[in-house]
Structure 1
Amino acid sequence: MNPVNTKPYNLPETATWLITGCSSGIGQAIATLIASKPNQHLIATARNPSSLSYLPDGNPNILKLALDVTKVASVDAAFAEAKKHFGEDFYLDVVVNNAGYSLSGDTEAATEEEMHQEMETLFFGTVRVTMRAVEVMRQHKDHRGGLIFNISSLAGLIGLPGHAFYHAGKFAVEGWSESVAREMHPDWNINFCIVEPSGVKTEFEGHSKARTAPHPAYAGEDMPARQLEVFVNKGIKAGAAAGMIEPAALAETLFTIASRGEKVPLRLPLGVTVWKMAKMKFAGALAELDAVKEISAMGREI
């Protein structure tokens, strides 16, 4: 299996960042951080650009754009506008695919529109932006490389009840990102980093969350999804939010990964919770693998 991210990545002093989903939360925190660095260039995007009013106007290093990642025309228009603003020598150094929302509820109750819209935003939106970004990075005459952060979460590692399509979207992003990372020629030095934060203090439980209609077959208190909801709500009331990641801290971590001049990790779990749960999952997977070793061998030696 060919390795990924084989060379150290060096962030240019005048790097250009493209960030999706900048209206709030993680995206807003990263955009705010980059805007505070005089030599960095920022392309901040959101479906509604008026939500980017926290960024200053009149700074040639900051471009605020409307971008709906579910629409090909919108992605094309955003890249065209960025090239127009920054000139023919336009280059993308760092891309942060952050746009998304969570669809929760009972899987059987989800409509075709709900499930497709979730995948359009989480997965295909990331695909569209990444493909355009790779093209820009690959074709530039200097071949200085680039870095693509695809924001996943604990949901990209472990499937929990009541969020099946959100997990599906994040699992898809992770598998696709790993595959595309292995397609890159080492000389291009285009790096991928799948970011897997645990709980982040954002507005994700508000306007960034949708819910299916309830399904009567899953309404009982003994159903796994209902039990998880009770557990989460108790944790919130008990102050579990105090242990969540601050968006500003996450932004600083990503900037450190980009600027430290070292190899970029393909996966970056962030937070104590996700690290512990990932370790538990992999330990369980290894035990399960050992348990089926004889069956898997199908009469041969392993």
Structure 2
Amino acid sequence: MDPNTTTKPTYTLPKDAVFLITGCSSGLGLALSRLIANHPTHRLVATARDQAKLESLLLGNTTKTNDRILILSLDVTSTNSITTALATILTHPGFGRMDVLINNAGHGLMGDTETSLPYHPSVPHSSDAEHAKARAVVEVDFWGAAAMTLHAVRVMREDNARNGGGPQGGLVLQVTSMGGFMGFAGNAYYHAAKFGLEGFTESLSREVRPEWNIHFTIAEPGGIDTNYATSSMSLLANHPAYDAPDSPARVLAAYIDNPEFRRSWSRPENMAKAIYEVVSRGQPIPMRFPLGTVSWQTLRAEADNIVKEFDDMRHLSVSVDSVEQAEHVERVKEFASK
């Protein structure tokens, strides 16, 4: 098999698909929830830590029930919370399956990475409190999404055809960001989590058996005009070595804090429509796709830079090979394809 000519299977979204979306109380998650809720036949499981707030945002003050919308409390870092939510979905009338999981819940962390070392009296500016912030963002953005993904694979493989009256399989969509493909100053732990989630997703997509009909994709938005930069962002303490106004992390923080710049970012409603287009168009699902002009152009430039660096280092890279290693190139490329 030539990995360069591998054809991905198409994904067909069921007409009455059940969408489970995490992190629905604001921004892109809320926009996606409203889009699915307004579809005449899809069913929505919208989740957030604050169920009452989410009910108010999605349902308003109406007392009218909607049997196609299920709103649940969910903490993606808690196994008990995840399993309780899934049990509710699988037993709730009219649901009983999960066709699409959108892992959108996330948290940001910006600041001087050097202050995140756990406290030790010999290490200046080390702090247990700052270290806890670093671990927390990885716990949500990587471990939480990874756990949701693995639970979804089990449901899509074992429960969908048995309980839901539809086909086996489904689609897992990870919302990372540009920061899942390239790194920016002052966001080291956020990038570690998002890079990790992208690698996890690529690997798992090649681990599941094709006959299970489970698809994976990664959405990489650029700037979104939401409150993410304020309410969903934690800050690491300043380190005096990075205090100069022209330090890269300070320059980036000033850009993000500028409301004029934020107003030029993409609207979450437009992002939601683009994501739904990828899910519903009945074509092969890409491994990843940038969202927004800034994301597409920036990531394309980064990819070009990577290719140039690879080409520049080719002579040195291949100089370490034996003949036996070279013979295995096509086999390894095959492992890296699906």
Deviations 1:105-161 (A, max 9, x none): 110112321111111100001011111111010113354321111001011111111
1:194 deviates by 0.2
Residue of structure 2 in register with 1:218 after alignment? 242
Match of 2:14 among 12, 16, 24: 12
Deviation of the 1:277 alpha carbon = 1.1
Q: Which residue of 1 aligns with 2:268?
A: 247
Answer yes or no: is the 8 Å Cα contact 1:194–1:267 preserved in 2: yes
Deviates most, 290-299 or 195-204: 290-299
Runs of 5+ in structure 1 lacking a partner? none
Q: Report the alpha carbon displacement of residue 228 of structure 1 after superposing the two structures with TM.
A: 2.5
Q: Following superposition of structure 1 onto structure 2, how do residues 63-212 of structure 1 map, counting pairs within 5 Å?
A: 63-86=70-93, 90-110=96-116, 111-139=130-158, 140-141=160-161, 143-212=167-236
Report which stretch shifted further, 91-100 or 244-253.
Answer: 244-253
Letter in 1 for 2:58: L
Say which SS state the counterpart of residue 89 (structure 2) adopts: helix
Q: Does the CA-based 8 Å contact 1:44-1:65 persist in structure 2?
A: yes
Q: 2:58 aligns with which of 28, 31, 55?
A: 55
Identity %, equivalent residues: 38
Counterpart code for 1:290? D
Q: Deviations over 1:65-90 (max 9, x none)?
A: 00011111111111111122137x71
Give the secondary-structure state (helix, strand or coil) at the position aligned to 2:57.
coil
- The one-letter code sitting in structure 2 at the alignment partner of 1:21 is G
Higher RCO (C-alpha 8 Å, min separation 6): 1
Please state if 1:275 is matched with 2:296.
yes
**Count of residue correspondences:** 298
Does 2:280 correspond to 1:259? Answer: yes
Shift of 1:4: 8.7
Shift of 1:280: 1.1
Provide the secondary structure at the position in 1 that maps to 2:97. Answer: coil
Gaps of 5+ in 2: 117-129, 327-338
Name the structure 1 match of 2:309.
288
Change (3 A) 1:278 1:42: same
For the residue of structure 1 that corresponds to 2:145, the secondary structure is: helix
- Native 8 Å contact 2:256 2:262 kept in 1: no
For the residue of structure 2 that corresponds to 1:86, the secondary structure is coil
After superposition, the CA RMSD in angstroms is 2.0
TM-score normalised by the chain length of structure 1: 0.93
Change (3 A) 1:231 1:67: closer
Assess, with a 3 A threshold, how the Cα gap between structure 1 residues 259 and 289 changes in structure 2: closer, same or farther.
same
Q: Choose 1 or 2 for highest CA Rg.
A: 2
Taking structure 1 as reference, are residues 258 and 143 closer, same or farther at Cα in structure 2, changes over 3 Å only?
Answer: same
> What is the distance in 2 between the residues matched to 1:151 and 1:82?
22
TM-score w.r.t. the length of structure 2 is: 0.83
Residue identity opposite 1:116 in structure 2: R
Indicate the SS of the match to 1:103: strand
